[in-house]
Amino acid sequence: MAGSKSSGKSSLLALATQMVAQELSSRGELQGTLLLPLSFTTLFDGAPPPPLSLHAVHETFVSVFFHSFCTSRPLLKEWRKGLKQWWLGDADFPAGLAERQPTVSGLLRRHLQRHVGVDANVAESLQALFALPSVLMECGGFERILWIVDDLDCADILVAADDGSRRHAAMLPTLSGALCGVGSHVIASCSADSVPRVSDLLHCPPTLSTRGMISTTSMKAKFPQLPSSIRCAGQEYDMDVFGGCPGFIAPFIALVAASPSGEGTCLEFHASESSELAELFKWLSLQHTS
């Protein structure tokens, strides 16, 4: 699903995920599904500018993957931190896990022997890293992986080796290979501008767009108190400026609810108190008018 920034695509992704989870539950397939949520706007929040450190990327994803793995298999929840540390080589295999979960333990130990470490080729390391969910799918007895990826286009960044060399690799193509792997299913969001590249990598055009989700007619029917137009900093805009995007419309409805303007009028904002709004409406106009 695609949309402009703040247009509601993350909320749409959450709604779609809820619907898919309910469908899987009704079929009795939810327990056999490894749910793997990733948000690329928050995953590396606070990290230095790209290229990202391979070590940091490796540690971040291993933590996320084992968190999802142990959340989807509650019997493993108490070993979540220990498994992550063991996989990263920072600790011994969690005490008690082998005795209580011998099958899972045996599979994890076997797969670790084939794991490519972070000192190898950058592209190979990323491939091994993003293959980890498939390893966990087998170890946990899952039948499928459901990747839930918000802002997938934000993964289009370089990852560099940590040895001071200039070796690097792009994250998104490697990640996309895992998303299209055997047993993997994907619900993802991306920016409208990135649709051609993301669609090409996933071999799938966007199914939904936040643009045009709510028509001006239905919006006026549901909320008759909305004005017919908006005037801000000397410019007048009609209601089509929101492009039918729920993420833009919802806060505006809240703003109108606090306004004394009556039904069918032009809601006006004075320039002295609406410089940020003026910039917002200009930006919206560029996004949704041709």
Cα-atom radius of gyration of the chain, to the nearest Å? 23
User: pLDDT at residue 110 above 50?
Assistant: yes
pLDDT at 290: 45
Residues 241 and 181 occupy one common structural domain:
no
User: pLDDT at residue 246 above 70?
Assistant: yes
Residue 243 belongs to a domain:
yes
Out of 24-28, 112-116, 231-235, give the one with best mean pLDDT.
Answer: 24-28
Average pLDDT, the chain: 85
Residues 32 and 167 occupy one common structural domain:
yes
Which range (10-14, 51-55, 133-137, 275-279) has the least confidence? 275-279
Q: Of 202, 232, 264, which residue sits at a domain end?
A: 202
- Record the pTM: 0.83
Residues 247 and 171 occupy one common structural domain:
no
Residues in the chain: 290
Residue 211 belongs to a domain:
no
Residue 55 belongs to a domain:
yes
Residues 148 and 228 occupy one common structural domain:
no
User: pLDDT at residue 225 above 60?
Assistant: yes
User: pLDDT at residue 102 above 60?
Assistant: yes
Residues 109 and 153 occupy one common structural domain:
yes
User: pLDDT at residue 27 above 60?
Assistant: yes
CA distance 88 to 56: 11
Residues 26 and 94 occupy one common structural domain:
yes
pLDDT at 241: 84
Residues 197 and 232 occupy one common structural domain:
no
Residues 224 and 159 occupy one common structural domain:
no
% of the chain at pLDDT higher than 90:
37
Question: What average pLDDT does this structure show over 97-105?
Answer: 89
Question: What average pLDDT does this structure show over 119-125?
Answer: 79
Q: pLDDT per residue over 151-163, tens digit each?
A: 999 999 999 988 8
Residue 165 belongs to a domain:
yes
User: pLDDT at residue 261 above 60?
Assistant: no
Residue 167 belongs to a domain:
yes
Q: pLDDT per residue over 83-93, tens digit each?
A: 999 988 889 99
Q: Of 149, 174, 202, which residue sits at a domain end?
A: 202
pLDDT at 116: 46
Residues 257 and 161 occupy one common structural domain:
no
When pLDDT is cut at 50, 70 and 90, the band that residue 229 belongs to is: confident
| Domain range enclosing 254 | 216-288
pLDDT at 115: 57
Question: What average pLDDT does this structure show over 35-61?
Answer: 88
Domain count, the chain: 2
Residues 149 and 276 occupy one common structural domain:
no
Residue 144 belongs to a domain:
yes
Residues 193 and 133 occupy one common structural domain:
yes
Residue 208 belongs to a domain:
no
Residues 193 and 232 occupy one common structural domain:
no
Question: What average pLDDT does this structure show over 6-18?
Answer: 91
When pLDDT is cut at 50, 70 and 90, the band that residue 30 belongs to is: very high
Residue 210 belongs to a domain:
no
Q: Of 138, 167, 202, which residue sits at a domain end?
A: 202
pLDDT at 4: 84
